[in-house]
Amino acid sequence: MSKANPLVQNIVPLAVDPQIEALVRDIISKVADKWTMLILEALEEHGTLRFTQLGRTVGGISQKMLTQTVRQMEEDGLVQRTVHPVIPPHVDYTLTSLGQSLGEAFCGVWIWAEEHRDEIEEARRVFAAATRKG
């Protein structure tokens, strides 16, 4: 191991299992997704919703994105999808216990955002002002 370059010498690699790293990044980027967040919230609040109800509750979501997001959540085990074989079709969605626990874990970030929104907005004003002045 050469230490010839002093710039690199003190850079310690991030001491996190890369597999965990990748999974966490994956999960968080999914949960952080606009629609995933809102669906998680909607199901947390209402318990169980049908496809169209869920879409209306979330609001402003295209049917494509609703299907896609809800399928992804099902794949990750966050949502339980139940098909009732009747005519017309009846499908409902509810959070699994895994999905509920994720919602709870995410509360910390949610609360953080609420608590610090003034600081963030202030920081943006400061930044904007500083940027204008150069």
Partner DNA sequence: CTGGATCCTTTTCGATACTG
Partner DNA sequence: CAGTATCGAAAAGGATCCAG
Residues that bind a copy of itself (CB under 8 A): 1-4, 7-9, 11-16, 20, 23-25, 27-29, 31-34, 37-38, 41-42, 44-48, 52-53, 56-57, 59, 74-77, 98, 101-114, 116-117, 119-124, 126-128
* Distance separating alpha carbons of residues 81 and 91, to the nearest angstrom: 7
- Judged by beta carbon, residue 2 or residue 64, the one nearer a copy of itself is 2
Binder of residue 125, out of DNA, a copy of itself, none (CB less than 5 to 8 A by kind): none
Q: Which residues contact 12 (CB under 8 A, 6 or more apart)?
A: none
Min CB(26)–DNA separation in Å: 11
> 82 in helix, strand or coil?
strand
Q: Which residues contact 70 (CB under 8 A, 6 or more apart)?
A: 39, 51, 54, 79, 81, 93
- Judged by beta carbon, residue 22 or residue 107, the one nearer DNA is 22
Long-range contacts of range 96-102, CB-CB < 8 Å, 24 or more positions apart?
A: 99/40, 99/43, 99/73, 100/44, 102/27, 102/31, 102/40, 102/78
Binder of residue 127, out of DNA, a copy of itself, none (CB less than 5 to 8 A by kind): a copy of itself
Min CB(2)–DNA separation in Å: 17
Residues that bind DNA (CB under 7 A): 7, 33-34, 50-53, 61-65, 67, 70-71, 81, 83, 88-92
